[in-house]
Structure 1
Amino acid sequence: MKQKVLLTAAVTGAGDTTAKSSYVPVTPKEIAESAIESAKAGATVAHVHARDPKTGGISHDLNHYKEIVERIRESETDVIINITSGGGGDFIPNLANPEAGGKGTDMQVPRERHEPVGSLLPEMCTLDCGSVNFGDMVYMSPTNWLREQAKLIQESGVKPELECFDTGHLRFAKQLIEEGLVDGDPMFQFCLGIPWGAEADEETMLYMKNRLPDNAHWSAFGIGRLQMPIMEMAAQHGGNVRVGLEDNLYLGKGVFATNEQLVDAAVKKLHEAGVEVMTPAEARIHYQLRNPYGGGKS
């Protein structure tokens, strides 16, 4: 039997990428359409952030998320929806007043971060499992906040994808599992190559893979030019995969990509390696995901 993987398209993210590429979707309509086109190209999952249609920056507006989700669900193309629960966690140090965040700080408490997930009940959501130096800012996700957020996700029946940007995040994700805050077989995502988190290389990936619980599923992604190499490497070692404009803007050197082009390229590379991509229906059953169209879990 051929290996099958879950392929995620991370279609927009929250980073300052819209000024770099016109292909990064911004409005709810554009984000939904990009998710749908990615699914048509072969993606199993669409990982969704919302953006402010006027500025292109991050948006926490529930109405933006609602429009994205409704457009995807009302389309004739099936795809699993994975909403970020990272929310406002960006802290910019203010040297003149260290107790307060500087310009660009964007912080939300756990219930605010959970609101789009709890209100719209996608099949999946991400849960960033710790704080990290993220470029020149600090992404803040304290352990007591994470426990609260994990409990909210658990009560919603949505499957968390435990995002680990460094090895300590993996340790704490396992602690959440030990404390009974994650139901069923856990799903991990290794986020590799982000300054200044875990390296995007095979040694780091296997280090993290080898420390997973026995019943865990995992995925990995790399950023920039390492997106496709890490995608192929993860599949080679039995993991799920992710591509998309959240993590990488280019199809090749100097050639800007669309989400569907990145998905299509990933599908072709996987097929060449003898790996098939799960359909959304297959993944809902395999990973025991809730059914967004009613009837509980698939």
Structure 2
Amino acid sequence: MNHEVIVTCALTGAGDTTRRSPHVPVSPAQIAESAIEAAHAGAAVVHIHVREPETGAPSRDVALYREAVRLVKESGVDVVVNLTAGMGGDLVIDAEDPLKPVDGTDLVNAHDRLPHVEELLPDICTLDCGSLNFGEGNQLYVSTPDMLRTGAKRIQELGVKPELEIFDTGNLWFATKMVEEGLIDPPPLFQLCMGIPYGAPPDPGLLQAMVHLLPEGAQWASFAIGRDQMPWVAQSVLLGGHVRVGLEDNLYLARGVKATNGQLVERAVDIVQKLGADIASPDRAREILGLKERVNA
């Protein structure tokens, strides 16, 4: 069991959720406000995607990241900033002409997924460690071994901690290989992502097996989506990990009750404390994860 737990709040994600809940933040100001709310509720880390303010569509616009991060930092609230670097991997194909990408495709190379990380130098950025059939239809997420090695090397050069996003066991195999190759500085940080169709299903036995495959000295967290989110808080803590909650992964506090990010963090904190564990502060999270100190950060 983990007795000192880092809570991450994934604020908005890139899914089609804005029309399903009024609490999903869209503009940089809303995202920053939600980050501050989550931090006050006990989150040591906030995981940030950005969206086009007019449409709610997912975005890679550096200016939107810049504004959201600025507002969080200027609020004076202490929180570890984790920016997604997973955008730019979406490929939607025409089933009759598979070499022809169609609407919804946003596929760029490894370096072009990182300009906001290069400019803003967050504490953490994500690295999605493999390709995946993403749900039904003809959408795929593409992140090849060569792309991942290129991205990992650049993130290492920037001094940013990569959070290795693991969607299936093969992702874990390759991420561990990058650790062995010296592309990931110690301690490596893994996020075990469960329940995303069609990656690893939210099965406690599978989570335990994946934890046993982690390299020695790794820090890790896990989450599951939808109604499995809160049970997974307990699963992660009992197996020795940290936790992630937030509107990226789940919109509900209870059946029919739409949640805010702050409420989801409060619920997670309550579960962790009732298990007898402590909630790590942002400073303690920095120590545990081995984050680099930044001048004027």
Same fold (TM over 0.5): yes
C-alpha separation between the residues in 1 aligned to 2:288 and 2:213?
Answer: 22
State the partner residue of 1:25.
Answer: 25
SS at 2:38's partner residue? Answer: helix
Which amino acid counterpart does residue 212 of structure 1 have in structure 2? L
| Structure 1 unmatched ranges of 5 or more | none
Report the number of matched residues: 295
Q: 1:143 maps to which residue?
A: 145
Partner amino acid, structure 1, of 2:111: R
* Aligned ranges 1:1-298 → 2 under 5 Å: 3-136=3-136, 137-294=139-296
Alpha-carbon distance between aligned partners in 2 of 1:125 and 1:99, rounded to the nearest angstrom: 31
Root-mean-square deviation (CA), in Å?
A: 1.3
| Mapped partners of 1:69, 1:212: distance in 2 | 31
CA distance in 2: counterparts of 1:93 and 1:169, whole angstroms: 23
Equivalent-residue separation in structure 2 for 1:5 and 1:206 (angstroms): 18
Give deviations 1:136-159, integer Å, cap 9, x for gaps.
311110110111000110001000
Paired letter, 2:251: L
Whole-angstrom distance in 2 between the partners of 1:112 and 1:33: 28
Q: Verify the 8 A CA contact 1:201 1:230 in the aligned structure 2.
A: no
Q: Which amino acid aligns with 1:100?
A: K
Contact 1:122 1:292 in 2 (8 A): no
Which digits, 9 at most, give the CA deviation of each residue in 1:55-112, with x for residues without a partner?
A: 1011111000000111111112110000001011111111242112111111121111
- The one-letter code sitting in structure 1 at the alignment partner of 2:18 is T
Moved more, 109-118 or 151-160: 109-118
Q: TM-score, normalised by structure 1?
A: 0.97
Task: Quote how far apart the aligned CAs of 1:23 are.
Answer: 0.3
The CA deviation at 1:276 is: 1.2
Distance apart, 1:242 and its partner CA? 0.3
SS of match in other structure, 1:100:
strand
Q: Determine the C-alpha separation between the residues in 2 that align with 1:172 and 1:285.
A: 26
Separation (CA, whole Å) in 2 of partners of 1:259 and 1:157: 29
Query: 1:28 & 1:96 partners in 2: Cα distance?
Result: 39
Preserved contact between residue 32 and residue 72 of structure 1 (Cα < 8 Å): yes
**Quick check: 1:153–1:159 contact (8 Å CA) kept in 2?**
yes
Helix, strand or coil: the match of 1:227?
Answer: helix
Give the 3-state SS of the residue equivalent to 2:291 in structure 1.
coil
Deviations 1:246-268, CA, capped at 9 Å, x for gaps: 00000000110000000001111
Once the two structures are TM-superposed, the CA of residue 294 in structure 1 deviates from its matched residue by 3.9
Question: For residue 7 of structure 2, what is the amino acid of its counterpart?
Answer: L
Query: In 2, Cα distance between the equivalents of 1:285 and 1:230?
Result: 24
CA contact (8 A) 2:233 2:271 kept: no
Shift of residue 293, structure 1, vs aligned partner: 4.5
The amino acid that maps onto 2:103 is: K
Deviates more, 1:277-286 or 1:13-22: 277-286
SS of 1:34 mapped into structure 2: helix
After TM superposition, the structure 1 stretch with the greater mean CA deviation from structure 2, 90-99 or 8-17, is: 90-99
Between the aligned partners of 1:98 and 1:11, the Cα distance in structure 2 is 34
The answer on whether the counterparts of 1:87 and 1:112 sit within 8 Å (CA) in structure 2 is: no
Distance (whole Å) between structure 1 residues aligned to residue 294 and residue 193 of structure 2: 27
